[in-house]
Amino acid sequence: MKRLFFKGRIIIQAIFVVLLLLGLHRTINPVLVLFMPLALIAGNFFCGWICPFGTIQELLGKIGSLFIKRKIKMPSFIQRYAQYLRYLLFLAILPLVLAGIIERNIPIDAYHSFYTFFDGDILTILAIVFLCLFLFISLFFDRPFCNYFCTNSIEYALPSFTRVFTVKRNKTLCVNCKICDKVCPMNIQVSTAGELRNIQCINCFQCIIRCPVPDALSYGKADNLLRKLKHKLKGNSLKNTPEVNHNHKTAVFSNKEDIQ
For ligand SF4, the binding residues (CB under 6 A) are: 167, 169, 174-180, 184, 186, 188, 190-191, 196, 201-207, 211, 213, 216-217
Contact in structure between 111 and 53 (CB atoms under 8 Å)? yes
To ligand SF4, the closest distance from the beta carbon of 162 in angstroms equals 16
Question: How does 15-28 read in b/e, with b if 16+ C-beta sit within 10 Å?
Answer: ebbebbeeeebeee
Q: In this complex, which beta carbon is closest to ligand SF4, that of residue 113 or of residue 198?
A: 198
Q: In this complex, which beta carbon is closest to ligand SF4, that of residue 150 or of residue 217?
A: 217
The partner residues of 203 in beta bridges, in order of sequence, read none
To ligand SF4, the closest distance from the beta carbon of 93 in angstroms equals 25
Q: In this complex, which beta carbon is closest to ligand SF4, that of residue 127 or of residue 222?
A: 222
Contact in structure between 211 and 217 (CB atoms under 8 Å)? yes
Counting every residue, how long is the chain?
A: 260
To ligand SF4, the closest distance from the beta carbon of 123 in angstroms equals 31
Dist. CA 239–CA 250, nearest whole Å: 10
To ligand SF4, the closest distance from the beta carbon of 197 in angstroms equals 11
Dist. CA 38–CA 99, nearest whole Å: 30
Q: In this complex, which beta carbon is closest to ligand SF4, that of residue 79 or of residue 105?
A: 79
**Which helix or strand (DSSP H or E) is residue 137 part of?**
helix 125-137
